[in-house]
Amino acid sequence: MKILVADKISSIGVDYLKGQEGFEVIEIFDLPKEERAAKLMEHAPEASGIIVRSDSKITKEVLENAPKLKAVGRAGVGVDNIDIPAATDHGVVVMNTPGGNTIATAELTFTHMLCGARPVPQAAASMKSGRWDRKILGGSELRNKTLGVCGMGRIGAEVAKRAKAFDMDVIAYDPFLTQSRADAMDIEPVELDALFERSDYITVHMPLTEQTKYMVDEAAFEKMKDGVRIFNCARGGIIKEAALLAALESGKVAAAGLDVYESEPPAEDHPLRSHPNVNLTPHLGASTQEAQESVGIEIAETIADAVRGGEIRNAINMPSLDASTIEKVGPYLDLCGKLGTFVQQLAMEKVESISITYFGKVGDLDSNSLTRGVLKGFLQNISGSNVNFVNAMVLIERLGVGVEVVTSNAETDYTELIKVQATCSDGSTVSAEGTLMGKGGSPRIVTINGREVEVEPCGDLLVIANSDEHGIVGKIGTIIGNAGVNIASMSLSRNEVGGIALNVAGLDSPLSNEAMAEIKSVKAITQAKLVHLECD
């Protein structure tokens, strides 16, 4: 498997990949940026994994040119340079390393805050030019000031922790911040407008999305205190630079510190570069030796696991699957996939919606992963090899098929049971229920359309519904035998004597169209369907 390292990461991470059996590592990060983009397109068709930082762009065109690609890893946090929707469409998992640069970015943020309170950079420049500007370079203290933190993820939380050590009052805006977590950190959760109105210092630590782009704009600055100080070491574009410049010129903002920009690098004549009350750094958030080694090792390990089909950590476009989760849900994923495939093939009309119900102990597992397994199986004969756990949700939504997931406490004959039911365009339904049996946890289909059976979901299965009359099994067996096909297993069920019977025959090979037509011509048979399920 080829791993393409497009942007420079720690040599320790590269060496780790080179030491993995079966990996070929291609390094193109030493090339000029333009040549690197061309090389990226050149090597993409053979790449199983690609590692980038912020320079190289994983565009829709790159993804369309990479049929073997399984994972893209971002050595860092922001994934603005990766086309996430296109990656999802192509079944490529996108992962980042949110923990590796947490401390480095938090410390840089606090450095900017300190330099915004005390003009250390200006004083240092003054001294180096031979001046002694002691009287005009006064500052203020952080103690007893209110810090507003926008975004209380890993970095925001570390900044808040440091602010508390400086005796600052901390308020925070984060839609996902619970009161219990806020209480534990001794901070006050507030709405965004309240944060703007009350803060002496403001720092942003949120991803750049449609909702957060220009979150701090002209209207936001209008709500702030005169003399507020504001800092951004997160993503360029959260603070509107034109609005910031106007607020600096008017005196609304006393000082600002930026490590990220709307366009990087900012133009040489960008007015923020020369403003005396602004400190700028060239996107140094993760630029410490410790952080570089940490994210380099982390992304190398993450990519290696992902392309081998193992753990999925820090995924952006699907649920992460760590080792403990895989260990718990792994045995059920095969069952889920086979239930989905079975129901899709059994349906006689177009499926409008799918209902998935988890009974018993299986309801305590990661239902998102199990549901993706069902949908992947359902789509297997529709979307072919292009469908996987990453894009199953997107593809099913694109087909217009509704999905309902239910966890039930209802009693069943099994300690754990999964039911998949499809509702068709004519209002009819088909369903299958499955569980794991034996010490090895072998998957079994135990109910089809409400009839109890025991079927190994493997190979060619002939599913027949017929009126409960004598001699039907013999007629079916004769037709199959005359077609030169051996019956490996058979499971029979009926709802009542003289009612509707269900017959599932496991075959050593598929039946011909002629044999199927002959079976369907038997008067008592109301439905006959040949289903194929892959064997492990």
Q: Residue 87 contacts by C-beta under 8 Å, 6 or more apart in sequence?
A: 58, 63, 72, 93, 94, 317, 390
347, 422 Cβ separation under 8 angstroms: yes
Bridge partner residues of 50 (DSSP): 4, 72
Instruction: Record the tokens describing residue 275, joined without a space.
Output: 């403003």
Active site residue 205: no
Active site residue 283: yes
Number of Cβ atoms within 10 Å of the Cβ of 254: 19
Instruction: Record the tokens describing residue 44, joined without a space.
Output: 């993409």
- The CA dihedral of 28, 29, 35, 39, to the nearest 10 degrees, is 30
Instruction: Record the tokens describing residue 195, joined without a space.
Output: 């944060």
* Closest CA relative to residue 339, chosen from 533, 158, 188, 124: 533
CA distance 376 to 389: 6
Q: Is the peptide bond before 443 cis (omega within 30 degrees of 0)?
A: no
Please tell me the number of Cα atoms within 13 Å of 235 on its side-chain side. 21
Q: Which of 264, 404, 514, 534 is catalytic?
A: 264
Q: Which of 53, 74, 283, 372 is catalytic?
A: 283
Token pair 């089809």 in the structure block, residue = 448
CA distance 329 to 333: 6
Q: Which of 53, 74, 90, 235 is catalytic?
A: 235
Burial class (CB in 10 A: 0-12, 13-18, 19+), 462: buried
Backbone angles phi, psi at 467, to 5 degrees: -65, 140
Strands 278-280 and 253-258: parallel
Query: Hey, which residues are catalytic here?
Result: 235, 264, 283
